[in-house]
A = this chain, B = another copy of it.
Amino acid sequence: MELLAALSQSSIFTLEFIATIAFAISGVLSALRKRMDIVGICACGFLAAFGGGTLRDVLLDRRPFFWVDHQIVLFGVLAISIGCAALVSLQRLEHGQHWLQIPDAIGLGLFCATGTHLSWIMGQPPIVAIMMGVITGTFGGVLGDLVCNEIPALFRDHRPYAICAAIGGLSYTVFASLDVPSWWAMTACALTTTGLRALAVMFDFTLPSTGRR
């Protein structure tokens, strides 16, 4: 049983590591498109990878940050940022961008689940826990876009991204209220979020335009 727990622990960490790298690569891509220098590329990589979780921790007043506890991830993001900047052409990165959506959807689910869970066990009300889950999963990209002087894609591309995370977070709060083990609720949240996002990408779903203009 302990072996099982350790195994699932380490596989979750591996998934999170891969997802963080995928988030970082998105940030690096935005920076390369804006012709930033190596400092900007690393900063955008860090922001996209850690921005959401860090903002959540600042709002919840939690320390130490995830990336202080797991320096290996910090070095991984640094390496991938410098590596992308030095070795890969922008065209090739943009060509591969399509494939990034898979680890990105997994990351959205995992980060949303951990964000919602952390707020929930700190006693936050459900709507706040859901917001924190959404922020954890999405605000890295928002901060990355802001630094690149763009309106965040999250806010205007009419694709379901934050909404998948919100529904996933809702499923967490439903399960958690039922007094089942918390990893059930987290699994439900991660699967719902990642599943919905995968469906949205596969069927190229767009949100209805708002407001009568």
Residues of A within 8 A of B (CB): 31-32, 34-41, 43-44, 54, 58-59, 61, 63, 65, 67-68, 71, 74-75, 84-86, 88-91, 124-125, 127-128, 142, 146-152, 154-158, 161-163, 207, 209-213
Contacts and interface: CB of A to CB of B under 8 A. Distances in A.
Nearest to A61: B63
A31 B63 contact: no
Contacts of A34: 151, 156
A39 B162 contact: yes
Instruction: Give the secondary structure class of A's interface.
Output: helix
A92 to B, nearest CB: 9
A155 B149 CA distance: 12
Given A90-B213, A161-B39, A31 B155 contact: yes
Contacts of A147: 142, 146, 151-152, 155
